[in-house]
């Protein structure tokens, strides 16, 4: 461990964490509603559950570690996790929703700052949580109905664009 090692705050392992919740059977089986933009473009055949998103690796969470020099800049910025929310996740939130997806993640218990680097990568401050707890928080954010535009607005938008 180099000189940084003592100063970085790293995430605890599962068991030493203070996560409000972890992944439960019922959370994994919970269906995630599709976003308005997605439903405007496609008719999904099957519902998607939280467990499906994790299984298809659309959701991933990795604790940053001082062992990896490339993690040092983000640890130095006060983050403990790098999270991945892939394309399949973006089918479940709208960019013009009342609550942005990254803001919804930031509102979950135990989560501090969230830096949404690009469409898929989020850096997260959660010094008392383990990887699974942060994964649970990301799922909780996606299940917050405010991350989706109400379909009524989607319909109105479509109607008005037809008039153009
Ligand atoms: Zn935990």
Separation of CA 163 and ligand 1 centre (Å): 51
Separation of CA 118 and ligand 1 centre (Å): 26
DSSP helix, strand, coil percent of the chain (3-state; round to 5): 40, 10, 50
Separation of CA 133 and ligand 1 centre (Å): 4
Question: Is 90 exceeded by the pLDDT of residue 76?
Answer: yes
Separation of CA 100 and ligand 1 centre (Å): 24
Separation of CA 60 and ligand 1 centre (Å): 15
Decide: 106 and 114 in contact? Cβ < 8 Å.
yes
Q: What is the pLDDT of residue 1?
A: 45
> Using CA atoms, how far apart are residues 112 and 68, in angstroms rounded to an integer?
23
Mean of per-residue pLDDT scores for the chain: 91
Q: Can you give the pTM of this predicted structure?
A: 0.88
Decide: 126 and 113 in contact? Cβ < 8 Å.
no
The residue extents of the domains of the chain are: 3-158
| pLDDT single digits (tens) 105-157 | 999 999 999 999 888 999 999 999 999 999 999 999 999 999 999 777 666 77
Assign 163 a pLDDT band (cuts: 50, 70, 90).
Answer: low
């Amino acid at each position: 461990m180099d000189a940084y090692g003592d100063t970085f705050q790293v995430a605890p392992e599962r068991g030493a964490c203070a996560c409000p919740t972890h992944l439960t059977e019922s959370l994994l089986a919970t269906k995630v509603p599709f976003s308005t933009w997605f439903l405007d473009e496609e008719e999904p055949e099957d519902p998607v559950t939280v467990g499906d998103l994790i299984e298809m690796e659309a959701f991933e969470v990795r604790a940053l570690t001082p062992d990896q020099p490339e993690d040092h800049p983000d640890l130095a910025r006060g983050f403990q996790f790098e999270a991945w929310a892939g394309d399949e996740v973006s089918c479940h939130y709208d960019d013009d929703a009342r609550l942005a997806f990254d803001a919804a993640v930031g509102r979950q218990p135990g989560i501090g700052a969230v830096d949404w680097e690009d469409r898929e990568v989020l850096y997260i401050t959660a010094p008392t949580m383990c990887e699974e707890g942060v994964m649970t928080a990301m799922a909780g954010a996606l299940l917050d109905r405010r991350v989706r535009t109400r379909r009524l607005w989607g319909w109105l938008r479509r109607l008005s664009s037809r008039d153009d």
